[in-house]
Amino acid sequence: MVSSFESSSIVASIILLFLLVTPSSCTNNTISELCGNTRDPAYCQEFMRYLPATDLKALAKTVISIAHNSASRTQLYIGWLAKHAINPQLKQHYMTCSKYYTESLREIDLAQKYLASGDYKGVNIVAGAMDNAGYCDIEIRKPPADSSLLNRANRELENICSIIMAIASELIHHVNA
C-alpha cells in the first residue's frame, strides 16, 4: 500500500498540474510575501508556482480545497495502515491519528465556510488542522517505530495549512486597509 499511497500522491500531483497549467495571476511579490510568512517558504514557493488565482480569495479557496484533498487522502491511508498493523500499539497510534485527521477535516470544512462568508479571521481555524497533523506526527514517533510515509503526509498538511493562514492574514490586512 505504501507504493499505492505514493502512486496516488503522484497521480494527484500530475492531475493538479494539468488542471493548474496557468501561472498564478497573483504577482510574484505577493507570492513571495505570502510564502515568507509560512513555516516553509521554499515549499510554499514551489506549491504556489502554478496555482491559478485571479485574487487572494480565489487562491485561498483553491488551497483550502487542496488541503481537504490532502487530509482526506491521508485519512484513507491511515485507515489502511491501522487495518494492516500487526502490532497492537502501532495500530492504536494509527487509530489516534485517524481521530486527529477527522478533526482536521472538520476544521478545513469550516475554513471553507468562513472564507465563503468573508470571515477571513475564521479561516485561521486551519491552525487546528495544522496542529492535528503535528499531533499525529508525535503519535507515530512513539514506540514501536512507524516506517510508513505518514510523517511526510503530516508535514504536507502542516505546510498547506500554513499557506492558508498566510493568505487569510493577507486577506484580513486588505479588508482592514
Per-residue pLDDT of 43-62, as tens digits, reads 999 999 888 877 999 999 99
For the chain, the residue count is 177
Nearest to 174 by CA among 19, 26, 1, 22: 26
Rounded-to-integer distance, Cα 63 and Cα 120, Å:
14
User: What's the pLDDT score for residue 30?
Assistant: 83
- For residues 71 and 30, the model is more confident at 71
Number of folded domains that form the chain: 1
User: What's the pLDDT score for residue 86?
Assistant: 95
Per-residue pLDDT of 96-141, as tens digits, reads 999 999 999 999 999 999 999 999 999 999 999 999 999 999 999 9
Cell 503535528, residue?
134
User: What's the pLDDT score for residue 18?
Assistant: 42
pLDDT at 38 over 50: yes
For the purposes of burial, counting CB atoms within 10 Å of the CB of 146, is it exposed (0-12), middle (13-18) or buried (19 or more)?
Answer: buried
Confidence of residue 8 (pLDDT cuts 50, 70, 90): low
Percent of the chain exceeding pLDDT 90 equals 73
Domain range for 98 is: 2-176
Mean pLDDT of the chain: 88
Q: Where residue 68 sits, what CATH number does that domain have?
A: 1.20.140.40
pLDDT at 145 over 50: yes
User: What's the pLDDT score for residue 23?
Assistant: 41
User: What's the pLDDT score for residue 36?
Assistant: 96
pLDDT at 19 over 50: no
pLDDT at 17 over 70: no
In this prediction, residues 25-54 reach a mean pLDDT of 87
Nearest to 35 by CA among 170, 174, 128: 170
